């Protein structure tokens, strides 16, 4: 006689949370059953906040091996629902995740460009916190846009448009929300296995065919050095391919802002410039190559080069822009507004616009992203805590580029603000962010410094055996 296993009725070994904490504190490896117990205890409220905080700190100090990280990711996915898609979309479902940067509006033109190439893009994004911007905040610069779409609504938008950009629903990876909030108050946000599990659990819940990760390094990034960024990228890629999702990570520099605009409504306008076939070179570089690798990864292009050509074509012929407009209308923007969105759109005006001048003649060697973002956040463009309100119109336009020769007295940045007013000390901080040298003009290094992927083959038992590689 066969038997049916009913979820929640299995006999599970009992563990004490204190014993699990002690084991990780001493640098030992947690079993899959112990990790499962912790996640379930967290979801049912049986784990005290103090216990979860202690365990997170033990993980932050002692780390986790790849198997532990993989198990934690799987259990976080299992804490909620998983998105389900029509069978005919198999191989077409793609997404991208960035570890966060200044002026990073890549998702806005990328999602509709991929949709215009025939992909389905169920992009789950977040809000800005600290000095990094949030994709949802940028889109909410457009009146009427709603990031709250349930799975049924997402399915319908993907059917009709091909892409949507939404917030995380309560039923997707709820354990991650609890873990993340606890990490935020226990100084464990920078733990590599916890970062990996947080990012990848949400992507696993999307039931993707392919995933690309933009792992940033530099003064304005989560990973200060390229070595740390590569370490994180390898961890993310390992989890992705081991769970059956073809995954690539780009290692990109985040010292200077991406593009020429920083701030929510200004970044939407710049994204629209890209969707119209123009835009700043480094924004186009990231959109083209991120999209090109994804098309190759999911089998919609024979090579990354062919993928880049396909993305460039849909940006050039206007089909990506049409997808963006349709997505905005499908997510609540009034049809008359959505159908006329373009780089000339007026998405928000501020009562104060001020330009700062170049202090001396020379070559722009660096424009430091982090201090600019921090000043804009203080002026209302960002948040210090998740409940803060933001002013979507506050932002800055860069009027010069790295590598460019500039003359003393020309304007180099334009600041848009309301209240609070820009203070003299903030003006000086902004001026210090512009680094002028005597060197001759130069072409900046490409933003993409490395590409990390994994080659996978089936082992004797049918499981994927993956070997990480770097494309130099």
- Listed range (306-315, 342-351, 392-401) with the worst mean pLDDT: 342-351
202 is catalytic: yes
Tell me which of 454 and 341 has the higher pLDDT: 341
pLDDT of residue 134: 87
pLDDT of residue 43: 95
Exactly one of 97, 284, 325, 326 is catalytic; name it.
Answer: 97
pLDDT at 6 over 80: no
Taking alpha carbons only, the member of 175, 177, 178 closest to residue 167 is 177
Position 267 confidence tier, pLDDT thresholds 50, 70, 90: very high
pLDDT at 113 over 80: yes
Dist. CA 133–CA 102, nearest whole Å: 6
198 is catalytic: yes
pLDDT at 198 over 80: yes
Dist. CA 454–CA 248, nearest whole Å: 7
Exactly one of 137, 176, 214, 255 is catalytic; name it.
Answer: 176
Exactly one of 36, 96, 183, 289 is catalytic; name it.
Answer: 183
Exactly one of 96, 202, 216, 370 is catalytic; name it.
Answer: 202
Average pLDDT, the chain: 91
241 phi, psi to nearest 5 deg: -70, -30
457 is catalytic: no
Dist. CA 211–CA 188, nearest whole Å: 26
pLDDT, one tens digit per residue, over 419-430 is 999 999 999 999
pLDDT, one tens digit per residue, over 366-382 is 999 999 999 999 999 98
Burial class (CB in 10 A: 0-12, 13-18, 19+), 49: middle
Give the mean model confidence (pLDDT) for residues 53-78.
Answer: 96
Exactly one of 169, 191, 198, 235 is catalytic; name it.
Answer: 198
Position 455 confidence tier, pLDDT thresholds 50, 70, 90: low
pTM of the model: 0.90
pLDDT at 1 over 70: no
pLDDT at 131 over 60: yes
Domain coordinates in residue numbering, the chain: 17-63, 87-343+448-471, 352-437
Q: So what's the architecture of 87-343+448-471 in CATH?
A: 3-Layer(aba) Sandwich (3.40)
176 is catalytic: yes
Position 98 confidence tier, pLDDT thresholds 50, 70, 90: very high
Parallel/antiparallel/unpaired status of strands 362-367 and 405-406: antiparallel
Domain 352-437 has CATH 3.90.1170.30: yes
Give the mean model confidence (pLDDT) for residues 331-353.
Answer: 91
Tell me which of 11 and 168 has the higher pLDDT: 168
């Amino acid at each position: 006689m066969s038997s049916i296993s009913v979820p929640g009725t299995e006999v599970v070994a009992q563990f004490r949370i204190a014993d699990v904490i002690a084991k990780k504190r001493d640098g030992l490896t947690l079993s899959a059953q112990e990790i499962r117990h912790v996640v379930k205890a967290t979801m049912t409220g049986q784990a005290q906040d103090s216990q979860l905080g202690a365990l997170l700190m033990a993980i932050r100090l002692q780390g986790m091996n790849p198997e532990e990280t993989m198990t934690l990711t799987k259990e976080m996915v299992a804490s909620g629902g998983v998105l389900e898609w029509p069978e005919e979309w198999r191989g077409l479902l793609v997404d991208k995740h960035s570890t966060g940067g200044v002026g990073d509006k890549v998702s806005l033109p990328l999602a509709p460009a991929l949709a215009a190439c025939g992909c389905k893009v169920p992009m789950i994004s977040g809000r800005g916190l600290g000095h990094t911007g949030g994709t949802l905040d940028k889109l909410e610069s457009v009146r009427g846009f709603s990031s709250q779409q349930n799975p049924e609504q997402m399915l319908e938008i993907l059917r009709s448009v091909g892409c949507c950009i939404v917030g995380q629903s309560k039923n997707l990876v709820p354990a991650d929300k609890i873990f993340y909030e606890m990490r935020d108050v226990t100084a464990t946000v920078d733990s590599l296995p916890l970062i990996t599990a947080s990012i990848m659990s949400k992507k696993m819940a999307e039931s993707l065919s392919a995933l690309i990760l933009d792992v940033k390094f530099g003064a304005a990034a989560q990973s200060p050095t390229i070595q740390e960024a590569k370490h994180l990228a390898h961890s993310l890629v390992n989890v992705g391919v081991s769970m059956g999702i073809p995954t690539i990570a780009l290692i990109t520099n985040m010292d200077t802002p991406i593009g020429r605009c920083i701030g929510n409504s200004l970044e939407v306008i710049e994204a629209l410039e890209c969707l119209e076939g123009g835009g700043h070179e480094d924004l186009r570089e990231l959109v083209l190559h991120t999209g090109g690798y994804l098309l190759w990864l999911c089998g919609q292009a024979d090579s990354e080069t062919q993928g880049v050509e396909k993305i460039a074509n849909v940006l050039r012929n206007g089909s990506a822009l049409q997808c963006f407009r349709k997505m905005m209308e499908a997510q609540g923007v009034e049809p008359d507004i959505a159908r006329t969105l373009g780089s000339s759109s007026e998405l928000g005006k501020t009562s104060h616009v001020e330009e700062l001048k170049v202090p001396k003649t020379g070559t722009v060697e660096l424009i430091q992203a982090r201090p600019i973002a921090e000043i804009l956040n203080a002026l209302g463009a960002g948040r210090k805590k998740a409940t803060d309100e933001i002013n979507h119109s506050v932002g800055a336009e860069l009027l010069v580029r790295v590598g460019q020769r500039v003359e003393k007295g020309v304007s180099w940045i334009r600041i848009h603000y309301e209240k609070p007013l820009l203070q003299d000390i903030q003006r000086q901080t902004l001026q210090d962010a512009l680094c002028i040298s005597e060197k001759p003009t130069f072409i900046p290094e490409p933003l993409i410094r490395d590409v990390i992927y994994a080659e996978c083959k089936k082992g004797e038992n049918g499981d994927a055996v993956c070997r990480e590689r770097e494309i130099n």
